[in-house]
Chains A and B, each alone.
Chain A
Amino acid sequence: MEYVYRIDEDLCKGCGLCVSVCPKHVLEIADKVNTKGYFPAYQARPGDCVFCATCCRMCPDVAITISEAEEVSPPEKG
């Protein structure tokens, strides 16, 4: 089963909690700001991600989603 991991860059407030809880240290804080002026989290090492969704559970802004490959909807979905 293929999964698609996505951080909604504009929902993320760069709080870093996901980065601190990821058991595989996949996530880091970007060095460029989003539309709100926050430095969002991103997958620095996506290959290491095991889709355990720990980050999703920790994210206060529900900015991280994991969906099954074919379930993914077109990227331009706002």
Chain B
Amino acid sequence: MGKTFRKPEALADVPTHYCPGCTHGVIHRLVAEVIDELGIRGRTVGIAPVGCAVLCYNYFTFDFQESAHGRAPAMATGMKRVRPDLVVFTYQGDGDLASIGMAEIIHAANRGERFTTIFVNNAVYGMTGGQMAPTTMPDQRTTTSPFGRNVDEVGMPIKVAELLAALQTPAYITRQAAIKPKYIVKAKKAIKRAFTYQLERRCYSFVEVVSTCPTNWGLTPVEAVKWAEEQMLPYYQLGDLKTPE
């Protein structure tokens, strides 16, 4: 455990635009480490969402496409169908995937498209300034739910992993977290497993990763980790919800 540690080759040697303590950076590193370890950088194409992570294309050192808001799973479908030899993954936030892109993710998963999705759930729209997302917690204040998410008015937060796990098409559906080292280690295993299923052309793979947004939650990075662990994890339970076995 531990000893040497360095930036993966698949991650660019540049500072990121993410806010201090935003765990997008951790998730980027896990994906890059997995790509290095599987030796697939030369044939991997990532698809960036619209959201804070749109600029992730600057942080990876392999081919990238930048999608429209919510449409990455459709782009991934198009690419994977015409070039099944390429390793394809979408990297999406909760506004991108669970709101405007809900139809695209459900149908891509249901078709069993052989790409991988990294779904970062931080309970708000980050880039546009902290608005309520489909995953915003009950009573959680955001810039468009200033009195707290009123579930009587806008319903309960969507559990995307469970939603996709209900589909009958075989898939690997898991929920992880990037908020503390013990979760991060497990998250990496899950991401590696997801990409491995893709390399084996086995099934669609989906990794939801609970993540923090200190700036829009109005918390320090350390408080944000605490809030995520105490408020989000009981609702967004971690673990594999579905495996192709």
Contacts and interface: CB of A to CB of B under 8 A. Distances in A.
B179 to A, nearest CB: 9
Interface in B155-194: 180-181, 184-185
B220 interface: yes
A44 interface: no
B3 interface: yes
Given A15-B20, A15-B21, A67-B4, A21 B181 contact: yes
Interface string B1-17: 11111110001000110
Given A20-B225, A21-B180, A57-B185, A52 B24 contact: no
B52 interface: no
A66 B5 contact: yes
Interface of B: 1-7, 11, 15-16, 18-26, 29, 180-181, 184-185, 214, 220-222, 225
Contacts, number: 83
Contacts of A10: 15
Contact of A64 (B5, B16, B19, B222): B5
B90 to A, nearest CB: 21
Residue of B1, B2, B24 contacting most chain A CB atoms (<10 Å): B2
Contacts of B24: 60
A30 interface: no
B3 A17 contact: no
Contacts of B19: 13
B220 A68 contact: no
Assign chain A's interface to a size class. Answer: 20 to 34
Contact of B6 (A11, A57, A65): A65
A68 B6 CA distance: 11
A17 B2 contact: no
B6 A67 contact: yes
A17 B221 contact: yes
Contacts of B225: 17, 20
A48 B185 CA distance: 23
Interface string A6-18: 0000110111110
19 contacts: A13-B19, A15-B221, A20-B225, A21-B181, A38-B20, A51-B2, A53-B3, A53-B4, A54-B181, A56-B5, A57-B181, A59-B25, A60-B16, A61-B18, A61-B25, A62-B7, A62-B29, A67-B4, A71-B4
Contact of B21 (A51, A52, A53, A60): A60
Contacts of B7: 62, 65
Interface string A39-78: 0000000000011111011111110111110010000000
